[in-house]
Amino acid sequence: MDWNCNVEGNRLLVSIRGEIDHHTVQALKAEVDQLCQRHRIKHIILDFEGVDFMDSAGIGLLIGRYRYTAAQGGLTVAACVGKSLRRIFALSGLGRLIPVYTTVEEAKQSI
Amino acid sequence: MDNEMTLIFPSKGPNVAFARTAVVAFLLPLDPTVLELNDIRTAVSEAVTNAIIHGYGNKTGTITLRCTLRERRIVITVSDTGAGISDVQKAREPLFTTRPAEGCGLGFTVMESFMDKLTVTSRVGEGTQVRMEKELTGQREEEEEGERDDE
């Protein structure tokens, strides 16, 4: 798994590629948390376009970032959630907390 | 087709990906649907992750992954000889976690939802065995269903 993080004002865009599991997600969480503190990030967009597998570690990633942005009065949103990821998204019930958009552009416009 | 395999590997993080990929490769000759394969590899990922994190914690132990195929019924067992679970019923409750900083408590819920049957047997100090079963229907309609938006 690899990823790109782009800070855009108080917004952080995280584009993830590869397979998300408990082992691979740890370094990503650490980098996102560090950037959030350093740049006083309020909103996080997680772009799943390049993700072809995700287990519940991905749900943990989303819940943790949701808690952070909620505490800042901001939003965590997800974009480009592919077919293979939708079942675990639905199972987690995260849709009530974290809006999902078809494209990154739509996600950006929502914030 | 009847078939079986056993993998024995150390409880190291990168082996979670290895285990789920091996199970997918084992099942491919049966031409399962993308949805079925995704369900199974997600369940295997959860079971092996649990064995590493909860079974062995900071220590490294051995995980045994067994797959048995009878016709189109796959039985997967993931066993460790680690810490064991004191209250299996509690551990299986959705959102229950002993490590809130690391997990979201959905591991067993995912295994239960994505497979047809889940059995967990555990003894404190001796280890845990997770047994999962699924019938591969190969019906493409299911896949079409999976393509619909869940929202």
Judging contacts by C-beta atoms under 8 Å, the chain A residues touching residue B110 are 55-56, 88, 91
Looking at chain A, which residue has its C-alpha nearest residue B147? A83
What mean pLDDT is predicted for residues B71-90?
A: 94
Assess contact for B99 and B80: CB atoms under 8 A.
Answer: no
| Cβ separation B103–A95 shorter than 8 A | no
* Kind of pairing between the strands at B62-70 and A11-20: unpaired
Is the pLDDT confidence value at B143 over 60?
no
Where are chain A's structural domains?
Answer: 2-109
| Cβ separation A22–B49 shorter than 8 A | yes
Please list, in sequence order, all residues whose beta carbon lies within 8 angstroms of the beta carbon of residue A62, skipping any fewer than 6 positions away: A46, A76, A78, A92, A94, A98
Is the pLDDT confidence value at B96 over 90?
no
pLDDT of residue B4: 97
Is the pLDDT confidence value at B120 over 80?
yes
Looking at chain B, which residue has its C-alpha nearest residue A88? B110
Looking at chain B, which residue has its C-alpha nearest residue A65? B101
Is the pLDDT confidence value at B151 over 50?
no
**Between B73 and B100, where is the model more confident?**
B73
Residues B7 and B135: their CA atoms lie apart, in Å, by: 21
Residues B4 and A111: their CA atoms lie apart, in Å, by: 51
Looking at chain B, which residue has its C-alpha nearest residue A22? B49
What mean pLDDT is predicted for residues A18-26?
A: 95
| 3-state SS track over B33-65 | CHHHHHHHHHHHHHHHHHHHHHHHCCCCCEEEE
Domain-embedded: residue B60: yes
> How confident is the model over B50-71, as pLDDT tens digits?
999 999 998 999 999 999 999 9
Beta-bridged to residue B76, according to DSSP, are B67, B132
CATH number, domain with residue B8: 3.30.565.10
What sign does the dihedral B37-B41-B47-B48 (CA atoms) show? Answer: positive
> How confident is the model over A51-85, as pLDDT tens digits?
999 999 999 999 999 999 999 999 999 999 999 89
| Cβ separation B46–A89 shorter than 8 A | no
Amino acid code (one letter) for A42: K
Q: Nearest-CA neighbor of A47 among A76, A26, A73, A72?
A: A76
pLDDT of residue B145: 52
- B149 pLDDT band (50/70/90 cuts)? very low
Pick from A54, A60, A95: CB nearest B104 = A60
**B101: number of Cβ within 10 Å:** 8
Q: In whole angstroms, how far apart are CA B149 and each of A82, A87, A99, B90? A: 10, 10, 13, 32
- Look up the CATH number of domain A2-109: 3.30.750.24
Pick from B104, B113, B150: CB nearest A89 = B150
Assess contact for A76 and A43: CB atoms under 8 A.
Answer: yes
What mean pLDDT is predicted for residues B9-37?
A: 96
Domain-embedded: residue B29: yes
B113 burial (CB, 10 Å; 0-12 / 13-18 / 19+) is: middle
Q: Is residue B110 less than 8 Å (CB to CB) from chain A?
A: yes
What sign does the dihedral A33-A39-A40-A43 (CA atoms) show? Answer: negative
Which range of residues forms the domain containing residue B14?
3-139
How many CB contacts within 8 angstroms connect chain A with chain B?
Answer: 71
Is the pLDDT confidence value at B141 over 60?
no
What mean pLDDT is predicted for residues B3-11?
A: 98
Is the pLDDT confidence value at A14 over 70?
yes
Judging contacts by C-beta atoms under 8 Å, the chain B residues touching residue A19 are 17
Q: What is the complex's ipTM, to 2 decimals?
A: 0.93
Judging contacts by C-beta atoms under 8 Å, the chain B residues touching residue A88 are 42, 110
**Between B142 and B85, where is the model more confident?**
B85
pLDDT of residue B59: 94
Q: Domain tally for chain B?
A: 1
